[in-house]
Amino acid sequence: MSGFDAALTAEAADLLYREAWHLDSRDWAAWLALYSEDAIFWAPAIAGEEGFSGDPDNDVSLIYLDRAGLEARIFRIEGRDSFASAPLPHTAHVVGNVRAAETKGAEIEVSATWLVNSFRRTDPPILRAGRYAYTLRRTAAGLAIARKTVYVLDDRIVGPIDIFNI
Amino acid sequence: MTGASAQSLVDDRPGDGIFRVRRAAFVEPALFERELERIFQRCWNYICHDSQVRERGQYVRGSIGRYPVFAIRGLDGEIRCFHDSCPHRGSMLTRGRSGVQPTITCRYHGWAFNADGRCIRVRGRDAGYSREALERLGTDLKPVARVASYRGFVFASLDPDVEDLETFLGGARPFVDLMADQSEEGMEVLKGESTYVMRANWKLQTENSTDGYHVATVHRNFAHTVRQREALAGEADDARARTEASRILDLESISSGGYDMGNGHMINWSDRGSPESAPLNEARGAIAARFGEGKARWMIDRGRTVTIFPNFFLNDVASTCIRLWRPVAVDLTEIDTWCLAPIGESAAARRARIRKYEDFFLPSSIAVPDDVRAMEVAHAGSLAAGGEAWNDLALGYATMVEGADDAARELGAAPLHSNPGRESETPFYAFWREWRRRMDGP
């Protein structure tokens, strides 16, 4: 990220914290409402020893979803018919090291780190960690998420990965 | 149960129409050790696809049972497989799970090898070692006994006397060809890999890979979820981008089947309700011209899982997947998955293939996590009463026929037995007969 803007960082951090809170509270509608209509949610896959996959149209990603894809994930979660995700684990997101800067196109670039702990009685606890890269856009209703990139650092994945536990 | 023979665990009485497997086969630790020795150390084991070792010095780490190995393309262009172990004091030599190392240097004491496996440096050789000592200890990398490639799929075996790879693949070869022949330019493994963990016995993955019976129950959620997404996204999308869900939800309206291809290999297939959703559909004309209409039908209109004994499969249903499951412990399996794609396909087909692969085959997808859960629960439940209960694989026995069915004849394939219908357990007999033969054999 090129610059750093303290006021903008505080505003962006508030959005990231609210997003994490909605996921941990399972308030899926409030969570989705943070995303713009043309939003992309992208979790690249590991590629080689130190890198991640790149172009989502040529490389495999862990998750690459548009808004309809995100809505369908909520449909899957709320339907409680997925063997892997019913009952849902309890999650706690910790988001830190947030830094934001405005870019030329009036969009806001945000970087952050994350930890998610997941607990379910039948499984061992799962701790995951990674980095976020967001593109936020200013709208009449406040900041919206236009793009979220989630770098998942685990290269040996234990338990299912879904939008609520990364 | 510790001393149980595989014979007593597989109750195979063709005359009486009975085929049962005792659940101890999945959960008994002593059997697991025996499997490593009797099956993995003697069998052909899938290591990598040749597109992953294109360059000289490019390597992929692998394993044969618990033994670490790696495949590497030599300076002469040949793919070799070596024990991932320095001849000096045993250190693993590969630095990562894949990469390019034209010179392989042991990080511990600095011995170095070229990509053909020849030792090119023993540090302090002249001062510290006598010629006799160097000859005795053998300084070159130790090759895995046998390496062979079939249509780009590289296998290795620790057994110098193993049958030829083509003989081993046997009746499954026409189905492997259906993956290999999708482009005249060849096939490639796409960038972006995934390894995930299953807390269950490896054989549950082998069974599940060819089990059509779970699809309508475990994966109905996948089908409903993609239908929901497609409804939300509207009708504008390219047909290729749509996921063909009728094979999951409307089984009675399509043809499907299962085969025993011999040597433990199993096939499960279903017609696609809408072949235009197959990314390969754009190549239909070229494929039919090269291979004939029958093979084109198999490649494009039918989805297939090709499960190769003991732990490898090619899946061409929602997308094209290579999966390998590694036995770590009796109740722990590590699973590697890659997307295999035709070189030269259109950008739209490539994009659709990747999206559909992500939908189904990853631990972050909306299908594989449900499979993993199903297998973990099956393992946990099989511990009941010490695994003494039987899995009675009776489903579909009445509809099983000897030899080929019409679909198999169309491909020129020769199953030992066929079943018209995906929801049968009779293809499992292939696996369990081979498992028993190897476990109880000399």
pLDDT in tens, B198-252: 999 999 999 999 999 999 999 999 999 998 898 888 755 667 777 777 677 777 7
Element (H, E) at B371: helix B368-382
* Integer CA distances (angstroms), A61 to B28, B89, B399, B410, in order: 37, 39, 41, 36
How high is the pLDDT of residue A2? Answer: 55
Report the share of chain B in percent with pLDDT over 90. 86
The answer to ipTM > 0.95 is: yes
Q: Which residues pair with A146 in a beta bridge?
A: none
Domains of chain A, CATH where assigned = 6-152 (3.10.450.50)
Residue among B306, B18, B263 at smallest CA distance from B165: B263
How high is the pLDDT of residue B250? Answer: 76
Return d(Cα B231, Cα B224) in angstroms, integer: 11
Check: CATH 3.40.50.1480 for B45-150? no
Report the share of chain B in percent with pLDDT over 70. 98
Domain residue ranges in chain B: 45-150, 170-440
Return d(Cα B115, Cα B416) in angstroms, integer: 42
* Integer CA distances (angstroms), A80 to A84, A108, B104, in order: 9, 36, 51
Residues of chain A with Cβ-Cβ distance to B357 below 8 Å are 60
HSE value, Cβ hemisphere, 13 Å, CA-based, for B436: 18
- Cβ of A61 within 8 Å of Cβ of B95? The answer is no
Nearest residue of chain B to residue A57 (CA atoms): B351
- Cβ of A82 within 8 Å of Cβ of B191? The answer is no
**Reported confidence tier of residue B4, pLDDT bands at 50, 70, 90:** low
Q: Report chain A's mean pLDDT, rounded to a whole number.
A: 94
- A10 in contact with chain B, both atoms CB, cutoff 8 A: no
**Reported confidence tier of residue B1, pLDDT bands at 50, 70, 90:** very low
Residue among A159, A48, A153, A39 at smallest CA distance from B364: A159
Render pLDDT for A104-146 as a digit per residue (tens, 0 to 9). 778 999 999 999 999 998 889 999 999 999 999 999 989 999 9
The answer on pLDDT for A1 being more than 60 is no
The answer on pLDDT for B156 being more than 90 is yes
Residue among A73, A88, A92, A94 at smallest CA distance from A16: A94
Angle at Cα B14 formed by Cα B11 and Cα B17, nearest 5°? 90
Q: Report chain B's mean pLDDT, rounded to a whole number.
A: 94
Render pLDDT for B341-394 as a digit per residue (tens, 0 to 9). 999 999 999 999 999 999 999 999 999 999 999 999 999 999 999 899 999 999
Render pLDDT for B38-77 as a digit per residue (tens, 0 to 9). 999 999 999 999 999 999 999 999 999 999 999 999 999 9
How high is the pLDDT of residue B23? Answer: 97
- A126 in contact with chain B, both atoms CB, cutoff 8 A: no
Return d(Cα B116, Cα B244) in angstroms, integer: 46
- Cβ of A47 within 8 Å of Cβ of B363? The answer is no
- Judge whether B45-150 and B170-440 match in fold: no
| More confident position, B84 or B442 | B84
- A46 in contact with chain B, both atoms CB, cutoff 8 A: yes
- Cβ of A157 within 8 Å of Cβ of B364? The answer is yes
Render pLDDT for B92-140 as a digit per residue (tens, 0 to 9). 999 999 999 999 999 999 999 999 999 999 998 878 899 899 889 899 9
Residues of chain B with Cβ-Cβ distance to A56 below 8 Å are 354
- A75 in contact with chain B, both atoms CB, cutoff 8 A: yes
- A69 in contact with chain B, both atoms CB, cutoff 8 A: yes
Render pLDDT for B282-319 as a digit per residue (tens, 0 to 9). 999 999 999 999 999 999 999 999 999 999 999 999 89
Return d(Cα A157, Cα A45) in angstroms, integer: 11
Which tokens is B331 given?
A: 């109740």
- A161 in contact with chain B, both atoms CB, cutoff 8 A: yes
Residues of chain B with Cβ-Cβ distance to A85 below 8 Å are 369
How high is the pLDDT of residue B233? Answer: 84
CATH of domain B170-440: 3.90.380.10
Residues of chain A with Cβ-Cβ distance to B370 below 8 Å are 82-84
Q: Are A61 and A137 in contact (CB under 8 A)?
A: no
